[in-house]
Chain A
């Protein structure tokens, strides 16, 4: 295969960002005439391979190995490096998740191949993809130039592609094996846990009202909650609101919190730091209300209001209650 997409497991299902990487592979592969293979590894490899077999790709590889049952950077880096060495793709694609940040630089070092991480866009030059990433806290963007034509490793930022565009097909699965020496696994993981229990799964919410530092005081949060109630929306927030203790952590949207793509993301007093934006930029409609006309979040807004949310929101709540009745 020319492009190998490595799948990440989310509780037995293909991680959304791996699906986006497949969509990206199909798009780039189509434009540049590149074939696609998909690699499933880990405890749930067979289930992931089965799900991937319904996508329009050329090959599906399933890798089962007892040293990959629990994720470790040692194990996963060794496994992926071996598969890449034997399959020899030109590109290896990933979604840019925390797990990828943890082990893929090791793959890059083992193979001595560049890892182009957190890619936001690409262009085609001379029949080949050229990848671009952001720099300086997402204020600038640059294309990445490679030393040579040999394989490169790429991870895509959330929502660089949409899993909605995946084309279906029917492909059979082939097993692959790797050799992992027990002594090479130098990390023993414990079970993952959540620090605060419960909370709504924001990723399945259709409508979200999200609160940022611009809410100013803890007492003002109820203004946003009233609006959410009137609209039938869930409440979310940026990190500073949670760090101040004004809302419990499960409301947090962003790279360390939840990633959402609702029909409506109404952001109140959120400036738009990159760690927040990656958690919501896939939202279908983004409405931004902020007092600061330079707030970066306006860049990705469908509708923007430069104004005082403390004045606007109560009146908006009243109007919505009106039309709902």
Chain B
């Protein structure tokens, strides 16, 4: 079972974001970067599937600037066998179709049975790349995957639906799955893992060389969201606050 895991390095989710001076991106200096959260769950799922099957490769593919080697090394330390780094220096590539096209060109001859990706990235949040990639490579696809069961030549997956509903489905291989956070417990890299990771291959390619398509969409300026609502902030002593709240509930919102 050969599995490709798409990994993205994103700004830490707790970080405070400010827009860059040219208004086109965020200030990246001094931002902490980390592996995208749902990608980490996808990686863990891949490692567990490979452990169950006993054979096969887990290959990590990441698109981004030099700094994303840190996320790649983390994946290798956790157990991925090798990696492909598609180097893209522009910090902002904001079209999932162009990104997925480059990824598809990169992995199309590798014969992967499964492509796992995180449900969406914490920075841009398109949630499309893994699904587009599946379509471009002729694979069947599923998103919001919260459970997997490998069968002969197929995979049975559990998908999360809205409002507390779930659904299992059986899919032909090869398949591309977008993994929801929380379906497993991602492992920490061991010291041995970190040491052996240093010897694992990271093949480096250039995005400009591989991407054969133009961006269909791009970000046109980033700005801080402005609250459209007028909020009445109620202050004072607890008794004053309660009194105003009762007044609001009874006379303005009319909860009777």
The residues of A with any CB-CB pair to B shorter than 8 Å are: 72-74, 77, 97-98, 101-103, 105-106, 108-110, 112-118, 130, 134-147, 152, 186-196, 199, 207, 231-233, 249-250, 252, 255-259, 263-264, 285, 287, 298-307, 311-312, 315-316, 319-320, 323
Contact = CB atoms under 8 A, between A and B. Distances in A.
Given A192-B165, A250-B164, A117 B219 contact: no
A323 B19 CA distance: 49
Given A105-B128, A207-B255, A187 B243 contact: no
Interface string B75-114: 0000000000000000000011100100000000000000
Contacts of B95: 114
B34 interface: no
Given A108-B128, A115-B128, A231-B255, A142 B223 contact: yes
B222 A142 contact: yes
Contacts of B243: 319
A191 B225 contact: no
Interface centre among B125, B224, B229 (most CB of A within 10 A): B125
Contact of B164 (A141, A257, A301): A257
Interface centre among B163, B175, B223, B241 (most CB of A within 10 A): B163
B66 interface: no
Contacts of A106: 131-132, 134-135, 141
Contact of A141 (B171, B223, B252): B223
Contacts of B225: 134, 138-141, 299
Contact of B168 (A109, A190, A320): A190
Q: Chain B interface residue count: which class?
A: 35 or more
A114 B246 contact: no
Interface centre among B217, B220, B246 (most CB of A within 10 A): B217
23 contacts: A73-B140, A97-B162, A105-B131, A108-B128, A112-B216, A114-B216, A117-B127, A137-B122, A137-B125, A141-B225, A142-B221, A143-B221, A145-B218, A145-B219, A147-B217, A187-B169, A187-B170, A194-B165, A302-B229, A302-B232, A306-B233, A319-B246, A320-B246
Contacts of B19: 140
A183 to B, nearest CB: 10
B167 interface: yes
B161 interface: yes
A137 B255 CA distance: 33
Interface of B: 11, 13, 17, 19, 26, 95-97, 100, 122-128, 131-132, 134-136, 140-144, 159-172, 175, 213-225, 227, 229, 231-235, 238-239, 241-243, 245-246, 248-250, 252-253, 255
Given A106-B135, A193-B167, A140 B253 contact: no
Contacts of A147: 214-218
B171 A186 contact: yes
A144 B144 contact: no
Nearest to B171: A187
Given A303-B231, A306-B235, A316-B245, 18 more contacts: A73-B141, A112-B97, A136-B123, A137-B125, A140-B26, A140-B224, A141-B223, A187-B142, A188-B169, A192-B166, A193-B167, A231-B255, A259-B162, A299-B225, A302-B229, A304-B234, A305-B234, A319-B245
Contacts of A117: 126-128
A282 to B, nearest CB: 13
Contacts of B131: 73, 102-103, 105-106, 109
A261 to B, nearest CB: 14
Nearest to B141: A73
Contacts of A305: 233-235, 241, 245
A150 to B, nearest CB: 9
Interface centre among B13, B162, B223 (most CB of A within 10 A): B162
A191 B45 CA distance: 24
A323 B222 contact: no
